[in-house]
Structure 1
Amino acid sequence: MAPAVSPTPPPVPRAGYRHLLRTPGAWTFLLPGFAARQPFAMLTLSIVLLLRHTTGSYGVAGAVAAVTGVAMALFAPQSGKLADRYGQRAVLVPGVLSHAAAAALLTVLALAHAPLWALIAAAVPTGASVPQIGPMVRARWAAVLGSGAPDGSGPRPGRHPLLATAAAFESVTDELTFVIGPVLATGLSTGVHPASGLIAEAALTLVGGLLFAAQRRTAPPPAPGRADPRERHASALSVPGVRVLAVVFLGIGSVFGGMQVALTAFSQEHGRPGLNGVLYGVFAAGDMLAGAACGAITWRTSPQRRLLASYAALALVCSTLWAAPTPLPLGGLGLLAGLCIAPALITGYTLVETLVPATSRTEAFTWLTGSVALGQAAAVTAAGQLADGFGASAAFTVPLIGTASALLTVVSLRGRLAPRADTTVTGRGQCVPDAHSGASRWADTS
C-alpha cells in the first residue's frame, strides 16, 4: 500500500500592499469608505474656521468643536457595539442621514449668529452621528481575510499574514484623508465661503456612507446570539489592554486637535491664513509616508516596544513645535511629528487584534477612535483658549502635554498590553496561547 500523502498546504500570501489589494471585494468597500471617513479629517477644522469667521474668537470656535468631539467620543463605542450586534448597514444608514441633517443645522445657526448654547446644542448630534467608517473598514478587512469566525470560535491557528499589512494600509488611508481633508476644508472655507467646508463634509459623509452601507457582501455578519437581549456580553473596554490603549490614544488626539488650532493661529499671525491647510497637509503627509513604510517592514521587535518608541519620539518632536519662528521650520517639525504618529496608530490597532475576539472587534476599534476624538476635543478647547490669550506658540504646548502624558502611561502600564490567557470578553471568546506560533488566539471555551 502506498503511503498516504498529506495534502500540500496552500501558499501563504506575502504581506505586501499589492497582495492585500487583490483581496476579493476589497475595492467595493475601500472607495466609498474613503469618502465617508472624511468627517474625522474635516469636521473639527471646518467648525473652527466657520465659527472663527462668525464669532471672531478661537475660544468659542474651539469650545463648539470640542463638544462635537466629545459627543463623537462618547457615542462612537455605542455605534461599534450596535454594528457588531445588528450589522454595519443597520447603523450606518440612519447615522449618515442624521449627521447630514445635524451638520446642516449647525451651519445655519452659525451663519445666523446664534447664541453659544444653540451652537453647542447642534454640535452634540453632529458629533454623535459621525459614522465610524474607519473601524468598520478594519472589521471588514478582518472578515474578508478570515481571521476567525464572528463568534470568536472558529479555527485560528495564527493571524493572517496580511492583517498587519491591512492595519498599516488603513493608517495610510486615514492619513491620506488628513492630507486631503484639511487642505480641502481650508480652501473651501477661505476661498469659497466660510460655511462651504462644513457643507462639503456633510455631503461626502452622506454619499460615501450610503454607498459603503450598500456593500453588504463584505460586511461582517452580526455576531451569533447578539440579537438576544437576554444574553449579556461584556464590553471590549473590560479588557485591561484596551483601556490602556484608549488612554494612550488620547495623546494622538491631542496632537491632531492642538495642531489644527495652533497652525490656524500661526497662519493668521503671519498674515497667510491659507497656509494653514498646507502646513497641516505636510504634517499629515509625514503620517501617511510613515504608515506606508510600516506596512512594508517586517518587524522583529514586539508591538509593545514599538509603541513605547513611537510615543517617545513623538513627545520629543512636540517639545520643539512652540519655538518654530517661521512657516518653513514649522513645516519640517510638523513632518517629523507626522512620521512619529503612524507607528503609534498602527501598533495600537494591531494590538487590538490580539486583545479582543471578533465579537467585540468593531467596538474595540471605536473605543480607540473615540479616544482620539476625545483627545482632539480637549486639545481644541485648550489650544483655542491659549491661542486667544497668548498666541500660537502657547497653543503648540498642548500636543506636548498630551503626548508626554501618553508616554508616561505606556511606560507604567505596558505590561497590560500583552494578551493574557485568562482574559475574557464574552462568554465564548477567550484569549489562549497558540500552540504553533506562541502568539495568542481566540478560541471557543464553552
Structure 2
Amino acid sequence: MESPATETDTARTDENTGNRHSERSSRRPGYGQLLRTEGAWSFLLPGFLARQPYAMLTISIVLLVQHTTGSFGRAGAVSATAGIAMALLAPQSGRLADRFGQAAVLVPQAFLHVLTVGALVAAALLDAPLWALFVAAVPAGATAPQISPMVRARWAARLQGSPLMTTAAAFESVTDEFTFVVGPVLATALCTGVHPAAGLAAEAAISLVGGLVFAAQRRTQPAPSAAGRPAGQGADRARGQGAEGRPSALAAPGARVLVAALLGIGMVFGGMQVSLTAFTESIGRPGANGLMYGVFAAGNMLAAVAVGAVRWKRGPQTRLLTAYPALVAAAALVALTAQLAPWAVALGALGTLTGLCVAPCMITCFTLIESLVPAGARTEAFTWLTGAVALGQATGSTAAGQLADRAGAGAGFLTPLVGTGLALLVLLAFRKALHPAHGGLVAARGLGHRTAVAVD
C-alpha cells in the first residue's frame, strides 16, 4: 500500500500530465486556434466583404464589353488591360501601405476606383472607340483595392512566423476561392439578368463600402515602416534589404520565382474564365458560365481546406515542385477534352480537377514568401503575388479570347496549359532560389509544430 506522500505525488504527477496534455491540445495549430487569434475577426469579416469585387472585375468587364462590341477578343483585351494595370501598379500601393499604413492608402483608393469604373462603364455604353475603352480600363484596374494582400499582411504581423502561417495561408486561399465561387456567379447573374453594366456597378459599390469598413480597423493593421525602426538587420538584410535601409520584396530571388509561378496560375484563371464564357455561349447557354466557373473555383476551395488541415512531412519547396506538375497535367486534360469531346459535363469535371490542383500551388507560394522577404515588405510581397495572378489572368483572358474568336470556343482552353507549362520550367530551373537566403533550419509543417530540420 502506498504512503500518503506517495499518493499525493502520484496525484500531482497525473494532474501535471493532464495539464500538459491539455496545453498541447489547446496549442495545436489548426483553423480553430487560428480564428481565436486576438483581433482576427475585426479584420476578417470586413476583409471578406471588401475582397468580393476582385473576382467580379475582370469577368464583368468581359461581359459588358462583349455585349457592346460583339467580340470576345476585344472583351478579353480590355479586361487584360485592366488586369495588367492592376498587376503593375498594385505592388506600388502595397509598398505605400507598408510605409504609411494600410488605411492611408485604401481610403482614397476606394473612392478613385468608383470614379474610374464609372468612366469605363460610360465609355462602353456610349459605344466609345476601342482605344477609349483601353484608356478607361487602365485606371479602373490600377485603383482596385488590394484587400487580400492586406489581410495576409495582418496575419503575418500577428503570427510572426508561427506554424499557424501555413494554416493562415490556407484559410486565406479558401476565402479567396470562395469569392471566385460567388463573384463570377453574381457578376454573370447581374450582367445577364439585370443589365450588362450591373456587374461593374455592383463591383464598384462593394469596393467602396467594404474598403472603407476594412480601413477603419486600424488596430490590427501592421505598423507602418516609416514610423518605426527600419527592418533591415541580420536575416532581413539577407532576405532583400535595400541599400537605403528600406526593404525590397523583389530583391529576393525566390520572390521573383514565385511571381512566375503565380503568373501561370493567373493564366489558368483568365483562360478558364474567357474559355468557359465562349463555350457556354457556343452551346446556347450563356447563363451556365458562372456555374461552370464556380465549379472550378469550388474544387480550388475544397483543396485549400484540405491543404490547411494536413500535417505535412515535406517542406513547402518540395510540395510546390510536386503540386505544380500535377496542375500542368490537369490543364493538359482540359485542353485535350475541349478539342476532342467538348461536353459541358466533362469540362465541368475536369475544371474541378484543375481547381483541386491550383490550391496547393497557390497556398505554398503564399507560405514561402513570408520566409523569403523582410518583415517590412510583406504587404508589397503579397501584392506582387496577387498582382502576378492578376497579370496572368489578364494575359490568359487576352490569349483565350483571341483563340476563341479565331479557332473556336475550345481553342481558348490551350491557354492554361501553355501558361502553367512555362511557369513549371521556371520553377525547375530556379528551384534553389526558393530556399531562404538566411539559411534558416526551421520549417513550417502544415498544422504540425515547427521542427528543427533542414528545409528540403
- TM-score, with structure 1 as normaliser: 0.89
SS state of the match for residue 320, structure 1? helix
For residues 231-310 of structure 1, the aligned pairs below 5 Å read: 231-310=244-323
Q: Match of 2:45?
A: 31
- 1:305 CA displacement: 1.5
**Residues 235-257 of structure 1: CA deviation (Å, up to 9, x unaligned):** 21010000110111110000000
Kept in 2, the 8 Å contact 1:242–1:355? The answer is yes
Kept in 2, the 8 Å contact 1:179–1:285? The answer is yes
| Partner AA of 1:246 in structure 2 | V
**Residues 15-74 of structure 1: CA deviation (Å, up to 9, x unaligned):** 211111122221111111112112321111000000000000111111110110000000
Task: Give the Cα–Cα distance (whole angstroms) in 1 for the partners of residues 49 and 125 of structure 2.
Answer: 26
Kept in 2, the 8 Å contact 1:85–1:226? The answer is no
Q: Match of 1:187?
A: 189
Going from structure 1 to structure 2, the CA distance change for 1:409 and 1:230 (only over 3 Å counts) comes to closer
| Partner AA of 2:215 in structure 1 | A
Q: 1:54 aligns with which of 61, 65, 68?
A: 68
Task: Give the Cα–Cα distance (whole angstroms) in 1 for the partners of residues 412 and 154 of structure 2.
Answer: 38
Task: Give the Cα–Cα distance (whole angstroms) in 2 for the partners of residues 395 and 238 of structure 1.
Answer: 35
- Confirm or deny that 1:366 pairs with 2:380: no
Gaps of at least 5 residues in structure 2 are 1-18, 232-241, 444-449
For residues 93-108 of structure 1, the aligned pairs below 5 Å read: 93-108=107-122
Q: 2:205 aligns with which of 203, 206, 212?
A: 203
SS state of the match for residue 437, structure 2? coil
Task: Give the Cα–Cα distance (whole angstroms) in 2 for the partners of residues 400 and 231 of structure 1.
Answer: 41
**Residues 121-175 of structure 1: CA deviation (Å, up to 9, x unaligned):** 1111111011111110011112222x0xxxxxxxxxxx31221111100000000
Q: Match of 2:13?
A: none
- 1:310 CA displacement: 1.4
SS state of the match for residue 221, structure 2? coil
Going from structure 1 to structure 2, the CA distance change for 1:14 and 1:174 (only over 3 Å counts) comes to same
Kept in 1, the 8 Å contact 2:247–2:376? The answer is no
- Confirm or deny that 1:328 pairs with 2:345: yes
- 1:232 CA displacement: 4.6
For residues 341-352 of structure 1, the aligned pairs below 5 Å read: 341-352=358-369
RMSD over aligned CA atoms reads 2.1
Task: Give the Cα–Cα distance (whole angstroms) in 2 for the partners of residues 113 and 94 of structure 1.
Answer: 29
SS state of the match for residue 20, structure 1? helix
Task: Give the Cα–Cα distance (whole angstroms) in 1 for the partners of residues 114 and 230 of structure 2.
Answer: 29
- Confirm or deny that 1:316 pairs with 2:362: no
- Confirm or deny that 1:129 pairs with 2:143: yes
Going from structure 1 to structure 2, the CA distance change for 1:110 and 1:336 (only over 3 Å counts) comes to same
Q: Match of 1:174?
A: 176
Task: Give the Cα–Cα distance (whole angstroms) in 1 for the partners of residues 60 and 421 of structure 2.
Answer: 28
Q: Match of 1:444?
A: none
Q: Which has the larger radius of gyration?
A: 2
Task: Give the Cα–Cα distance (whole angstroms) in 2 for the partners of residues 39 and 123 of structure 1.
Answer: 15
Q: Match of 1:144?
A: 158
Task: Give the Cα–Cα distance (whole angstroms) in 1 for the partners of residues 429 and 137 of structure 2.
Answer: 36
Going from structure 1 to structure 2, the CA distance change for 1:331 and 1:180 (only over 3 Å counts) comes to same
Task: Give the Cα–Cα distance (whole angstroms) in 1 for the partners of residues 244 and 422 of structure 2.
Answer: 38
Gaps of at least 5 residues in structure 1 are 1-7, 148-158, 422-430, 442-446
**Residues 162-207 of structure 1: CA deviation (Å, up to 9, x unaligned):** 2111110000000000000000011110011110011111111110
Q: Match of 1:118?
A: 132
Going from structure 1 to structure 2, the CA distance change for 1:419 and 1:116 (only over 3 Å counts) comes to same
- Confirm or deny that 1:220 pairs with 2:234: no
Task: Give the Cα–Cα distance (whole angstroms) in 1 for the partners of residues 441 and 293 of structure 2.
Answer: 43
- TM-score, with structure 2 as normaliser: 0.87
Task: Give the Cα–Cα distance (whole angstroms) in 1 for the partners of residues 215 and 294 of structure 2.
Answer: 29
Going from structure 1 to structure 2, the CA distance change for 1:206 and 1:73 (only over 3 Å counts) comes to same
Task: Give the Cα–Cα distance (whole angstroms) in 2 for the partners of residues 376 and 140 of structure 1.
Answer: 25
Give the number of aligned pairs. Answer: 412
Kept in 2, the 8 Å contact 1:14–1:161? The answer is no
SS state of the match for residue 264, structure 2? helix
For residues 60-79 of structure 1, the aligned pairs below 5 Å read: 60-79=74-93
Q: 2:99 aligns with which of 67, 80, 85?
A: 85
Task: Give the Cα–Cα distance (whole angstroms) in 1 for the partners of residues 442 and 416 of structure 2.
Answer: 39
SS state of the match for residue 28, structure 2? coil
SS state of the match for residue 396, structure 2? helix
SS state of the match for residue 242, structure 1? helix
Task: Give the Cα–Cα distance (whole angstroms) in 2 for the partners of residues 59 and 226 of structure 1.
Answer: 47
- 1:230 CA displacement: 11
Task: Give the Cα–Cα distance (whole angstroms) in 1 for the partners of residues 99 and 35 of structure 2.
Answer: 28
- 1:410 CA displacement: 1.3
Going from structure 1 to structure 2, the CA distance change for 1:68 and 1:178 (only over 3 Å counts) comes to same
SS state of the match for residue 167, structure 2? helix
- 1:420 CA displacement: 1.9
**Residues 334-367 of structure 1: CA deviation (Å, up to 9, x unaligned):** 0000000110000000001111121011111111
Structure that is richer in helix per residue: 2
| Partner AA of 2:196 in structure 1 | P
Kept in 1, the 8 Å contact 2:247–2:374? The answer is no
Q: 2:371 aligns with which of 354, 357, 375?
A: 354
Kept in 1, the 8 Å contact 2:300–2:359? The answer is yes
Q: 2:27 aligns with which of 8, 13, 37?
A: 13
Q: Match of 1:393?
A: 410
Q: 1:404 aligns with which of 406, 414, 421?
A: 421
Going from structure 1 to structure 2, the CA distance change for 1:26 and 1:317 (only over 3 Å counts) comes to same
Going from structure 1 to structure 2, the CA distance change for 1:89 and 1:439 (only over 3 Å counts) comes to farther
